Structures are given as C-alpha cells and as structure tokens.
C-alpha cells in the first residue's frame, strides 16, 4: 500500500509539473496589446465629438448598408489609464463588426492621468457617449432598439456599468434622467467587480491604488465608493449579459468572470458565461483569431433580441 501511495503521489507531481509547463509555454505565446497595435490599422468612417474635452469623442464605423443598422458600442480597456493605448486598440474589432453589418460606435473617454479623469468624469463620459447615439441617429438613422455594448477589460466593467445606469442611486452625481436602454452587454475579460478585483486581483493594473483613484476613494465615503461605480452593486441590470473569460488570462483570471455571472444570475439577470480555455487577455479582441468568431456569434445573438422599451 505504501509503495502504491508513493507511486500515485509521484504521478500526480509529474502531472502538475507538466501542466505548469504547458501554462508557461502558453503564456510565452499569448498576445499582447503591442501585437494588436503592430498590425495595419483599419480606419473609421468619422470621428465625432460628444463633448468639449479633447478626450470626449468616438469613432463611427458604418456598414455598407447603413440605414437602420443595429449598433454595437465598443469600449476599450487599458486599466482606465491614459498612459496606455486608447480606442485604437479596438479598431480591428470595430472593422470586423462593420463588415458583419453593424454600425459601430467606438468611444474614447477621460482616463486616469488625463485632466479630470477618474470619478466622476470617466463614468460621465461613458454615459454621455452612449446617450449621444440619439444625436447620431438623427442623421444616420440607427436602430437604437438593438444596441449592444461590448467592452474589453476595464472597458468590460464600463460596458456593464453603462447598462446598469438606470439603477444608479438617486443621490449619485452619475445619475442621468433618461439613459439609453441597452439591449445586451458582452464583457470580454471584464474587471466586472471592482471591490473583488481590488481585494484579490493581479497587480497588472496597478493594484488597489488604481481602483481607489477610479472611484474617488480619497474624497468619498468608504461605504459609498462602489455603490454607483461597480456593476455588482447595480444588480439586477435587467439586460442580457454574456461574460467572456480566457482560461489563460493572467490579467483578469477566469474566476472573476465566473463569480460575477453567479451574482448576476442570483439577482435574476440573464447572464451567460462563455469560457474560452485557450485564450489569454488580448486574444479576446483579436479579429484574426479563432476566439473572436465565437464572440462575434455572441454579439449576433444579443443584437437579434430586440429590446421593446423606449430608446
């Protein structure tokens, strides 16, 4: 019995070592944002300001048959930091969605390190940019009954937040009178739960300091900083959500997506998990990779499910 136990333990140890080796080799070949940006960049049709600040603009990508096109709002990540790439990181995704027949509104917003970035400006900008679709639609005749918001990483957090604005506390300075209703959200490796990521997330985005700067922890009461900034505090969002996670993601590990989806479903939301076991962080926004095809099908499912409320 002792010999059998030793052999079993040795076999387990070898298996673990092999598994770790596989992870290390996979990590060495994962995409970075530099790989994405090194490619030839497609161009949007128009750049449109939705506010007076230099960072308050978006880029509109219109399909070949633009009239009454269904809309995908795209929100880039980058740890909410102005020092990292902005909306250009999502150009490949925007171009692919345009090719598939969507009107794409790829938005920029004030970030940490730019004047005014953080609370409340970062959130105000995202809300204002989404609502600005009503203005764009006056001339471009978009279908605002099918709006899907797709965000990556920090942008995944902001995508869920944008969908949940109707549930903001009445005392919040972020509260808007008539936020545009979102028909569905796709959050790609989203930092969906700010409190959880602050407590146990990797330091890739700067650790707790970044979260504290984003939510204005230095000038707000500690028990209110997540009440109007973190999607779990806004549940139920009352819109369909697809939570996409990469099994090899070192920046937003898969467990964060799983935990958020569980919380959303516990509040009655339709929250589907889409786990991509061989994907890292940036594979999820690589339109040339196999994972993007799966994500594009998820966008299509949401875009086809019409929201019958008022835009």
- CATH number of 195's domain: 3.40.50.1820
Q: Find the range with the poorest average confidence among 4-13, 34-43, 79-88, 112-121.
A: 4-13
Task: Say how far residue 95 (Cα) sits from the centre of its chain.
Answer: 17
Count of domains forming the chain: 1
In a domain, 22, yes or no: no
In a domain, 54, yes or no: yes
**The whole model's pTM is what?**
0.90
d(CA 299, CA 245): 15
In a domain, 77, yes or no: yes
CA angle 18/19/25 to nearest 5° reads: 90
In a domain, 188, yes or no: yes
d(CA 213, CA 229): 12
CA angle 250/254/259 to nearest 5° reads: 135
Distances (CA, A) of 65 to 61, 99, 302: 12, 10, 20
What is the model's pLDDT at position 129? 98
* Alpha helices in 169-239, H assignment, sequence order: 194-200, 208-215
- Provide the mean pLDDT of the chain: 90
In a domain, 264, yes or no: yes
Domain that holds residue 264: 31-304
Q: How does pLDDT run across 215-261, given as a tens digit for each residue?
A: 999 999 999 999 999 999 999 999 999 999 999 999 999 999 999 99
In a domain, 273, yes or no: yes
Task: Please report which confidence band the pLDDT of residue 146 belongs to, taking 50, 70 and 90 as the band edges.
Answer: confident
226-260 CB burial, b ≥16 within 10 A, e <16: bbbbbbbbbbbbbbbbbbbbbebbebbbbebbeeb
213-216 long-range Cβ contacts below 8 angstroms, 24+ apart: 213/112, 213/118, 214/80, 214/112, 214/118, 214/119, 214/122, 215/118, 215/119, 216/118, 216/119, 216/120
In a domain, 19, yes or no: no
């Amino acid at each position: 019995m002792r010999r059998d136990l030793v052999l079993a333990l040795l076999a387990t140890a070898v298996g673990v070592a092999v598994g770790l080796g596989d992870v290390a080799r996979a990590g060495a070949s994962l995409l970075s944002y530099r790989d994405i940006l090194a490619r030839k960049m497609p161009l949007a049709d128009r750049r449109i300001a939705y506010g007076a600040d230099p960072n308050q603009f978006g880029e509109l990508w219109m399909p070949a048959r633009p009239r009454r096109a269904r809309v995908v709002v795209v929100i880039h990540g980058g740890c909410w930091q102005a020092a990292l790439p902005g909306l250009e990181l999502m150009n490949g995704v925007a171009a692919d969605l345009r090719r598939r027949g969507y009107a794409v509104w790829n938005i920029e917003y004030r970030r940490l390190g730019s004047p005014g970035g953080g609370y409340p400006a970062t959130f105000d900008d995202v809300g204002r940019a989404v609502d600005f679709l009503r203005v764009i639609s006056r001339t471009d005749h978009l279908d605002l009954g099918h709006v899907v918001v797709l965000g990556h990483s920090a942008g995944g957090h902001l995508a869920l937040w944008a969908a949940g604005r109707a549930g903001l506390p009445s005392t919040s300075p972020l509260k808007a009178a008539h936020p545009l209703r979102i028909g569905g959200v796709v959050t790609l490796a989203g930092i969906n739960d700010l409190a959880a990521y602050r407590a146990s997330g990797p330091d890739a985005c700067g650790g707790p300091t970044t979260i504290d700067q984003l939510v204005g922890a230095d000038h707000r009461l500690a028990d209110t900083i997540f009440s109007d900034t973190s999607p779990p505090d806004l549940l139920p969002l009352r819109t369909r959500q697809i939570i996409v996670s990469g099994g090899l993601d070192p920046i937003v590990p898969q467990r964060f997506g799983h935990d958020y989806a569980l919380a959303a479903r516990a509040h009655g939301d339709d929250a589907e998990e889409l786990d991509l076991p061989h994907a890292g962080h940036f594979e999820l926004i690589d339109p040339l990779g196999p994972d993007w095809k799966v994500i594009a099908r998820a966008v299509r499912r949401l875009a086809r499910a019409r929201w019958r409320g008022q835009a």
